[in-house]
Amino acid sequence: MAYLNITDLQKHYDNYHALRGINLAIEEGEFIVFVGPSGCGKSTLLRTIAGLESSTGGNIELDGRDITELASSKRDLAMVFQSYALYPHMSVADNLSFALRLAKEEQSVIDEKVKSVSASLQLDKLLERKPKELSGGQRQRVAIGRAIVRQPKVFLFDEPLSNLDAALRVQMRLELARLHKKLGTTMIYVTHDQIEAMTLADRVVILNAGQIEQVGTPLELYRSPNSRFVAEFIGTPKMNLIALDNVVRENDTLHLQLLNASIDFPVARTRGPLPDSVVMGVRPEHMHIVESGGDIIGKVELIEHLGSEAYTHVRLANDQTIIVKAPARTTIKDGEEIHISLEREEVILFNQNDRVFSVIAEEACHD
Amino acid sequence: MKRSITRLLMAPSVLLLLAWMLVPLSMTIYFSTINYNLLYPGRNNFVGWMNFEFFITDPGFWIAISNTLILLISVLLITVVLGVALSALIDKPFFGRNVVRVLLISPFFIMPTVNALIWKNMMMNPVYGIFAWISQSLGLEPIDWLSDYPLMSIIIMVSWQWLPFAILVFVTALQSQDTEQKEAAQMDGANGWHIFRYLTVPHLARPIAVVVMIETIFLLAVFAEIYVSTGGGPGYDSTNLAYLIYNQALLQYDVGVASAGGLFAVLLANIVAFFLIRAVGKNLTV
């Protein structure tokens, strides 16, 4: 029995089915990230867990207690909002202690807790300030402090970093990771930023159109996505999807035919029967530019130098463009013809329904 | 050079405004020091402080001052308290909210004179008023509001007139309240009352200050309701300063004393404004 159990959760708006049967089990102390494109239902799911939206079907159970119909104030959850939602006319200290004061805790206990939380978040010098006298990062910390001070069972974060500038976002991301290590409390975090999802999460929940597309550790999702949606969503730049001309089976080997090339793929790494049309997925970082004898040939259209690496946009003979990662100081020029070799173990195959029917290579599984 | 040109360009409007303010004021001051009774034209000799003395020693003077203040404070209290409460009630969506809003705002569009006539003849009349009918159907003696509780009747009328203004301001202010803050409070364990008390009321501090300021300006000079309904009576029971001045000028034809009364009204307005700005003005500057 998991700590937080969500069973067949449904949410209907007047004419919109926002959550279509969510099933999820979260263990105590896990850092879970909900990620997906806008409108996928990730915020609705979080708000339904928080009790700010009522569900129209299904169950939520926290620590052995059914909280589906419970008011959000009684659920023992704390939430950090995107806008921080600090109480504007209260000082930082009053913001932090609001929940404790409502719970009628003793003043000495309140002071103690506010003091320790503000010290751990470096807010101790700001306690008398009003929210509007704080910077974005400081407001963010107050919002987090307000959640911590109550010692809830689960922390909920609703895109907490999206209002910060890029540098601060990286810093706060790190602080959140540290905070989770220190407190060990279960955290659920909603974001549309897959980098945040990959770096923070113990497990990532990818949502699409109100349904869970896949749940797994960041590396699992990166290496063995279930579907084209997940494969494309995780990773920057996106995974290259190349429609194959033909796939021929010969004994234990599949010959993936693309233009003039034929790439061997072991049958052992596929599940089920061979589909009619196959799409091959390879990430840019699993393709290499070689002098000669590569798997495919293409013409360089554009090179993006990022300093630490370069991305070459390559047009194949069938007019499809792919992205190939190249070393930082590559000397390749636009318009040049290049040979590309693929890392066979990292190749993923999709059937015509955009589902993955290959399995990742064995030796890669254990690293 | 540049500065003198700007001054020059500003001069016409400044002069106009100055004249606009100074001419009536100085005329009032001038009238208040001369003998100026419409019944005795031509005898406009200088009389010094006599007009002021007459006005202060008028048996209605202190009653009028206290009536003015009672009216002001009561109406402010009623409109602000009821206004906040009603606005908070109609903030949440419910069936027919738009109709209810229009109904709540509509008394503001009725002129004070008509307002007073409606209350006098249709609501408070002891014979065929609605209040009388309610009392009678409950088997009680009907109350003659205008003669027995004249000031209270005026307060009710004026409150009815000004409550919509307060609601209008508060409803708009409530729409700018952040929903995430309320949700955060909910997560923090706050119930509806806590949210109202700790989030909504502080959020409304500034609009409340605005409503109090604006209403004060108009409430110090309530006249039409009194004129149409009670005529300041019985006796001086519902006479306020504005009505007393009118009484002097146009019922006793003594412009001199009325001007002196007008200057007292200016004085009273300044005293009220002084306390008001100290009390609520700080909400406006932050």
User: Is the alpha carbon torsion for B232, B237, B238, B239 positive or negative?
Assistant: positive
pLDDT at B214 over 90: no
**Confidence check: pLDDT of B110 > 50:** yes
Q: Is the separation of the CB atoms in B85 and B170 below 8 Å?
A: no
Are B194 and A102 within 8 A, CB to CB?
yes
Q: How far apart are CA A142 and CA A128, in angstroms?
A: 12
Predicted confidence at residue A367, as pLDDT, reads 44
CA B196 to the chain's CA centroid = 27
DSSP 8-state symbol, B126: T
Q: Do A81 and B183 touch (CB under 8 A)?
A: yes
Residue B188 with chain A: CB contacts under 8 Å: 73, 78, 98-99, 102, 146, 150
Greater pLDDT, A311 or B141: A311
Question: CB neighbours (10 Å) of residue B224?
Answer: 19
By the 8 A CB rule, do A340 and A294 touch? yes
Tell me the average pLDDT across B252-260.
Answer: 86
| Assigned domain for B127 exists | yes
Q: Is the pLDDT of residue A113 over 70?
A: yes
pLDDT over 70 at B266, yes or no? yes
Query: Residue B89 belongs to what domain range?
Result: 16-285
Residue A59 CA to residue A1 CA, distance in Å, equals 14
* pLDDT value of residue B114: 92
Q: Test A89 with B205 for CB contact under 8 angstroms.
A: yes
Whole-number pLDDT of residue A366:
46
Task: Report CB contact under 8 Å: B189, A86.
Answer: no
Mean pLDDT of A249-273: 86
Share of chain B above pLDDT 90, in %: 27
Secondary structure in 3-state letters for chain A: CCCEEEEEEEEEECCEEEEEEEEEEECCCCEEEEECCCCCCHHHHHHHHHCCCCCCEEEEEECCEECCCCCHHHCCEEEECCCCCCCCCCCHHHHHHHHHHHCCCCHHHHHHHHHHHHHHCCCCCCCCCCHHHCCHHHHHHHHHHHHHCCCCCEEEEECCCCCCCHHHHHHHHHHHHHHHHHHCCEEEEEECCHHHHHHHCCEEEEEECCEEEEEECHHHHHHCCCEHHHHHHCCCCCCEEEECCEEEEECCEEEEEECCEEEEEEHHHECCCCCCCCEEEECHHHEEEECCCCCEEEEEEEEEECCCCEEEEEEECCCCEEEEEECCCCCCCCCCEEEEEECHHHCEEECCCCEECECCCHHHHCC
Give the tokens for residue B93: 């969506």
Q: Is residue B230 in a domain?
A: yes
- H/E stretch holding B231 reads none
C-beta atoms of A82 and B180 within 8 A: yes
Interface of A with B in 104-163 (CB under 8 A): 146, 150
A70 touches chain B (CB under 8 A): no
> Which A positions 93-112 lie with beta carbon below 8 A of chain B?
98-99, 102-103
* Domain membership flag for residue B3: no
Mean confidence (pLDDT) of chain A: 89
Shortest Cα–Cα distance, A230 to chain B (Å): 31
Tokens of A73: 């104030």
- Across the interface, whether the CB atoms of A87 and B178 are under 8 A apart is answered no
Q: Is residue B139 predicted with pLDDT exceeding 90?
A: no
Return the pLDDT at A363: 55
The answer to whether A259 faces chain B, any CB pair under 8 Å, is: no
Of A295, A291, A287, nearest in space to A259 by CA: A295
| Contact (CB<8Å) A85/B189 | no
Q: Examine residue B190 and state whether it is found in any structural domain, yes or no.
A: yes
pLDDT at A313: 93
Task: Identify the weakest region by mean pLDDT among A207-211, A256-260, B181-185.
Answer: A256-260
Please give the pLDDT value at position A248: 87
Q: Do A83 and B183 touch (CB under 8 A)?
A: no
Residue B10, domain member (yes or no): no
Considering its fold, how many domains does chain B have in total?
1
CATH of the domain at B38: 1.10.3720.10
CB-based contact A85:B178 (threshold 8 Å): yes
How confident is residue B23, by pLDDT bands cut at 50, 70 and 90?
Answer: very high
Q: Which of A251-255, B68-72, B232-236 has the lowest mean pLDDT?
A: B232-236
In chain A, domain spans:
4-228, 240-365
Average pLDDT on B231-246 reads: 86
Query: Is residue B11 in a domain?
Result: no
| Average pLDDT estimate for A297-301 | 91
- Within 8 A of B189 by CB-CB distance, chain A residues are 73-74, 99, 102-103
Report the gap between the CA of B222 and the closest CA in chain A (Å). Answer: 36
**Residue B105 maps to a domain:** yes
Residue contacts between A and B (CB atoms, under 8 Å): 62
In this prediction, residue B91 has a pLDDT band, given cuts at 50, 70 and 90, of confident
Structural tokens at position B1: 């050079």
Query: Does domain A4-228 fall into CATH 3.40.190.10?
Result: no
Closest partner CB to B189 (pick from A79, A87, A99): A99
What digits encode the pLDDT tens for the residues B36-77?
A: 888 887 778 888 888 888 888 888 888 998 999 999 999 999
Alpha-carbon distance of B4 to B18, in angstroms, equals 19
Q: What are the φ/ψ torsions at residue A290 (nearest 5 degrees)? A: -120, 160
What does the pLDDT average to over A64-70? Answer: 89
What is the distance between the alpha carbons of residues B169 and B162, in angstroms, rounded to a whole number? 11
Contact A228, A216 (CB under 8 A): no
- Per-chain mean pLDDT for chain B: 87
State the nearest Cα–Cα gap between A153 and chain B, in angstroms.
Answer: 13
Contacts of A128 (CB under 8 A, 6+ apart): A91, A92, A93
Q: Does residue A12 register a pLDDT over 70?
A: yes
pLDDT at residue B209, rounded to an integer? 87
Please tell me the predicted confidence (pLDDT) of residue B173: 92
Instruction: Assign domain A240-365 to a CATH class.
Output: mainly beta
Q: What is the 3-state secondary structure (H, E, C) of B54-95?
A: HHHHCCCHHHHHHHHHHHHHHHHHHHHHHHHHHHHHCCCCCC
Give B173 to chain A, closest Cα distance, Å: 15
pLDDT at B285: 55
Best A46, A54, A76, A102 residue to mutate vs chain B (most B CBs within 10 Å): A102
Note whether A73 contacts B188, CB cutoff 8 Å.
yes
Identify whether B2 is part of a domain: no
Tell which of B183, B186, B187 to mutate to test the A interface (max A CBs under 10 Å): B187
What are the pLDDT digits (tens) for A336-365? 889 999 988 889 999 888 888 888 776 544
All residues of chain B having their beta carbon less than 8 Å from the beta carbon of residue A74 are: 189
